[in-house]
Amino acid sequence: MRLRLCVNWLPLDRDLTRSLASRIERRGLWGLGIGDSPNYGELYAACADAASATDALTVLTSVTNPVTRHVSVHASAARTFGERLVIGMGRGDSAVRTFGLAPASLDGLEQALREIRDASPATALLVAAGGPKAAAAAGRAADGVICGAGRDPVALRTLAGAAAAQAEHRPAAWASVRLAVAETPGQVAELRRRMLPRAISAARFNFGRSLAGKNVPDAFHGVLAERFASYDFAWHGRSGATPTAGMFTDRPDIEEYLLDRFAVVGTPEHCRERLVELHREVDGIFLSLLFEDVLHQADLVAGLFGTDELEPQGPWARSEAGAR
Give per-residue pLDDT as tens, 43-79: 999 999 999 999 999 999 999 999 999 999 999 999 9
**What is the CA angle 74-79-84, rounded to 5?**
95
Rounded to the nearest integer, the mean pLDDT of the chain is 93
Q: Kindly indicate the confidence band of residue 38, based on its pLDDT and cuts at 50, 70 and 90.
A: confident
What pLDDT score does 321 carry?
54
Q: What is the pTM of this model?
A: 0.94
Is residue 47 within 8 A of residue 34, CB to CB? The reply is: yes
Residues 130-137 have a mean pLDDT of 94
What pLDDT score does 211 carry?
92
Over residues 287-305, the pLDDT tens digits come to 999 988 999 999 999 999 9
User: What is the domain partition of the chain in residue ranges?
Assistant: 5-314
Q: Kindly indicate the confidence band of residue 320, based on its pLDDT and cuts at 50, 70 and 90.
A: low
SS3 (DSSP) at 175: strand
What pLDDT score does 241 carry?
79
Beta bridge partners of 5: 285
The percent of residues in the chain predicted with pLDDT above 70, rounded, is: 97
Is the preceding peptide bond at 177 cis, omega within 30 degrees of 0?
no
Nearest C-alpha neighbor of 278 from the set 148, 151, 130:
151
Is residue 216 within 8 A of residue 207, CB to CB? The reply is: yes
Over residues 177-235, the pLDDT tens digits come to 999 999 999 999 999 999 999 999 999 989 988 898 899 999 999 999 999 998 888 77
Domain range 5-314, CATH architecture: Alpha-Beta Barrel (3.20)
Q: Kindly indicate the confidence band of residue 315, based on its pLDDT and cuts at 50, 70 and 90.
A: confident
Residues 318-324 have a mean pLDDT of 52
The percent of residues in the chain predicted with pLDDT above 90, rounded, is: 83
What pLDDT score does 323 carry?
46
Q: Kindly indicate the confidence band of residue 324, based on its pLDDT and cuts at 50, 70 and 90.
A: very low
Residues 106-124 have a mean pLDDT of 96
Residues 146-172 have a mean pLDDT of 96
Q: Kindly indicate the confidence band of residue 99, based on its pLDDT and cuts at 50, 70 and 90.
A: confident
What pLDDT score does 57 carry?
96
Residue 130 is classified by DSSP as S
Sign of CA dihedral 133, 134, 135, 139: positive
Q: Rounded to 10 degrees, what is the CA torsion of 123, 307, 277, 192?
A: -90
What pLDDT score does 102 carry?
84
